[in-house]
Amino acid sequence: MDIAVIGSGMAGLAAARILKDAGHKITIFEALPGRGMDSHSTEFEGGLIDAPLRVMNPHLWSNTLSLAAYLGIKTFPVRTYMACSWLFEDKTETWLTTTRSRIGNFPIINNRKGIQQYGWRLVKGMLQLKTAIAKFFKSKDQDITLAEFINRNEIEEVFWHGAVMPVLYTICTCNPKTIGEWPAKPLLVFLRQLTDGDALLRIQGGTPALVNKLIEGIEIVSGSAITSVKEQGEKVLVENNQGQVTEFDRVVVATPTTKIEEFLDKSQFADDIALLKKFKFEQGDLVIHTDQTVMPPKRKDWAVLSYMMDRQFTKQQFTVWLNSIEPSLVGKTPIFQTWRPVTPIDPKKIISKVTLTRAVVDSDTVALNKELQQRHKAQDRKVFYCGSWSCDGLPILESAVTSAMHIAEIFGAPLPFVGLKPKVEVAPQLGY
C-alpha cells in the first residue's frame, strides 16, 4: 500500500521503517525543516549534544534497542552515578554521592557524609521499597496510582523523596504532582528492573545516527505541515501547507494529539477528535548551558546526574553532565542539560532552551488507549494514530516504538527485530 506517515518523531519513524521493510511505499511528512526526532540535537566545540540525552536500560528499552540492533547500530555502556544536594538560600550542600560497582554495576554510596548521616536510612528505604514492590506484584489490586502506593507503604522519606523520586523525574520528565497520578505498575516495574544492576547503554553517534538509519530509503518531506486529511472513496487525501494534495491508501498520524484538529476533517473524524482531545499533555523547558552553579560546589562531587532539592522536597531540579557520558565532548568545556531549572542560570551561558511536550499518564489515559486500539481494528479504518502518548509512557522512547509496533500488527507487518540483543562495544574513553 501507499502509506503516509505524519510526523517524524520516534513513533512515526519506527512505524515508517517497519512498514517500509514489510514492502509498503512510505512517505513521511514533517512540519519542521529537518527531522522531528533529532531536531534539538546540536554541536558544541565539535562534539554532539543530544537533547534530551538518552541513556537506556536493556530491559526497559528492549524494543528500542532491538530496533537499533536490527538497523546495525552499535551501543556502548555507561555508568550513571549520581549526586544529591540540599538547596540553601546562601549555599548548596551535597549530602549524597554514588558510584557503580565494577562487578554488577550496582549503585554504591561513596561519600562519608552520605554513609554517616544517611547510610542506614537509605539502606532501610531500599529494603522497604523492595518489600513493598514484592507485595504489590503478589496482590490483586494493581490498578492503583503511585501516590496510593506510597500512602499504603512505609518507605523512608529521605530514600524515597531524595533518591527514588528524582530518578523518576529524570525518566518521566514531569512534575511531582503529575507523577503521583501515574499508574503505579509501570513505574514499579521500572524501579525493580533498574535495581538489577544492568549496564545502561547509549547509541553510538547519538540520536542522529538512529534517525539516519530509520529513514534510509524512505522519502521524507520536511517543512511540510499537513493542513488537511480527508477520506475520499477508497483513498485518503493529504494536503500540505504548499497546497499539494496526494492520495494514499492509508495514513498513520504520529503527532501529539494536540495537533490533530489542525488537519483532520472535522466531520469525517469527529469521533476520533473527541477521543484524542481527552489525552492531556504538559510542557517543560530543558536548558542546555555551561553554568556550573547547577552542580555540587566541590568538583570531586560532580556526577553524571546531579539532583538538587530543598529539605522539604517541595522544589527539585536535575542536571545531566554531558561531558561524562558523551565521548565527543570529553575534554571540552563542561556542558550541562538542566530540566525545569529552579536555580537561576546565567543567560550568557545558555546555549539553547528546548521546550519538551509529553503526555500525562493516569488511569484515564489507560482507558482511552484501550478504546483507541479497539477503533483501530475496524475493517474500513484508513487513518491510524500512534505516539509515545498511546502507551503507558515509560520510558517515552520505548512507548513510541511500542506504539509503532501496534500499528505494524494491524497491517500484518512482521517485526523481525523483536528479541535481538543490542550490539554493545567497549566503552569509549569518557570524562569520569
Specify the CATH number for the domain of residue 234: 3.50.50.60
Q: Quick one: DSSP state of residue 164?
A: I
Cβ atoms of 388 and 10 closer than 8 Å:
yes
In this structure, the answer to whether residues 248 and 367 fall within a common structural domain is yes
Could you tell me the CATH number of the domain that includes residue 82?
3.90.660
- Terminal CA-to-CA distance of the chain, rounded, Å? 50
Nearest-Å Rg of the Cα atoms of the chain is 22
The grid coordinates of residue 235 equal 483513498
DSSP string, 69-104: HHTT-EEEEE---EEEEEE-SS-EEEEEEEEE-TTT
Look at residue 102 and tell me whether its pLDDT is greater than 80.
no
Look at residue 66 and tell me whether its pLDDT is greater than 60.
yes
- The residue that leads in pLDDT, 80 or 312, is 312
In this structure, the answer to whether residues 144 and 169 fall within a common structural domain is yes
CA dist 66 and 201 (Å) reads: 12
Least confident among 231-235, 276-280, 387-391? 387-391
- Which of 324, 358, 392 marks a domain boundary? 358
In this structure, the answer to whether residues 366 and 390 fall within a common structural domain is yes
| Bond from prior residue into 107 cis (ω within 30 degrees of 0) | no
Mean confidence (pLDDT) of the chain: 89
The cell 550568557 sits on which residue? 348
pLDDT reported for residue 197: 55
In this structure, the answer to whether residues 89 and 220 fall within a common structural domain is no
In this structure, the answer to whether residues 163 and 231 fall within a common structural domain is no
Q: What is the mean pLDDT of residues 328-339?
A: 94
- The residue that leads in pLDDT, 364 or 132, is 132
DSSP string, 107-136: EEE-SHHIIIIIHHHHHHHHHHHHHHHHHH
Least confident among 31-45, 54-68, 329-343, 415-429? 415-429
Q: What is the mean pLDDT of residues 164-173?
A: 78
CA dist 209 and 154 (Å) reads: 45
In this structure, the answer to whether residues 372 and 308 fall within a common structural domain is no
Closest CA to 46 of 332, 252, 287, 299: 332
Q: Would you say residue 61 lies in a domain?
A: no
Look at residue 153 and tell me whether its pLDDT is greater than 80.
yes
pLDDT reported for residue 316: 86
CA dist 183 and 149 (Å) reads: 9
pLDDT reported for residue 60: 83
Percent share of the chain, pLDDT over 70: 93
Look at residue 208 and tell me whether its pLDDT is greater than 60.
yes
In this structure, the answer to whether residues 175 and 292 fall within a common structural domain is yes
- Tell how strand 305-309 and strand 245-248 pair up: unpaired
Q: What is the mean pLDDT of residues 174-195?
A: 79
User: Domain span at residue 166?
Assistant: 71-202+282-358
Other C-beta atoms closer than 10 Å to the C-beta of 62 total: 20
Q: Where do runs of H (alpha helix) occur along 110-235? A: 112-113, 119-138, 146-152, 157-159, 165-172, 176-180, 184-194, 206-214
pLDDT reported for residue 432: 40
Look at residue 371 and tell me whether its pLDDT is greater than 80.
yes
In this structure, the answer to whether residues 78 and 50 fall within a common structural domain is no
Least confident among 247-256, 324-333, 352-361? 352-361
In this structure, the answer to whether residues 344 and 261 fall within a common structural domain is no
pLDDT reported for residue 103: 53
pLDDT reported for residue 74: 94
| Residue 40, phi-psi category: left (phi > 0), alpha (psi -120 to 50), beta (remainder) | alpha
- Which of 335, 358, 381 marks a domain boundary? 358
Look at residue 85 and tell me whether its pLDDT is greater than 50.
yes
CA dist 231 and 268 (Å) reads: 8
The cell 502509506 sits on which residue? 3
Task: Extract long-range pairs of 240-243: CB within 8 Å, 24+ residues apart.
Answer: 240/29
CA dist 102 and 122 (Å) reads: 21
Q: How confident is the model at residue 431 (pLDDT cuts 50, 70, 90)?
A: very low
The grid coordinates of residue 105 equal 554495576
In this structure, the answer to whether residues 94 and 34 fall within a common structural domain is no
Other C-beta atoms closer than 10 Å to the C-beta of 361 total: 27
Look at residue 260 and tell me whether its pLDDT is greater than 70.
yes
Look at residue 241 and tell me whether its pLDDT is greater than 60.
yes
CA dist 391 and 369 (Å) reads: 7
CA dist 190 and 392 (Å) reads: 12
Look at residue 430 and tell me whether its pLDDT is greater than 70.
no
The grid coordinates of residue 34 equal 529537518
Phi and psi dihedrals of 72, rounded to 5? 85, 15
Q: How confident is the model at residue 276 (pLDDT cuts 50, 70, 90)?
A: very high
CA dist 383 and 216 (Å) reads: 24
- Which of 358, 384, 409 marks a domain boundary? 358
Cβ atoms of 362 and 174 closer than 8 Å:
no
Closest CA to 75 of 337, 421, 330, 405: 421
In this structure, the answer to whether residues 290 and 220 fall within a common structural domain is no
In this structure, the answer to whether residues 300 and 187 fall within a common structural domain is yes
CA dist 136 and 183 (Å) reads: 13
Structure-derived torsion over alpha carbons of residues 354, 359, 362, 367, reported in degrees to the nearest 10: 180
- The residue that leads in pLDDT, 178 or 65, is 65
Closest CA to 61 of 208, 171, 185, 182: 171
Partners of 56 in beta bridges: 201
- Tell how strand 250-253 and strand 2-6 pair up: parallel
- Cα 315 to chain center, whole Å? 22
CA dist 355 and 225 (Å) reads: 19
What is the count of structural domains for the chain?
Answer: 2
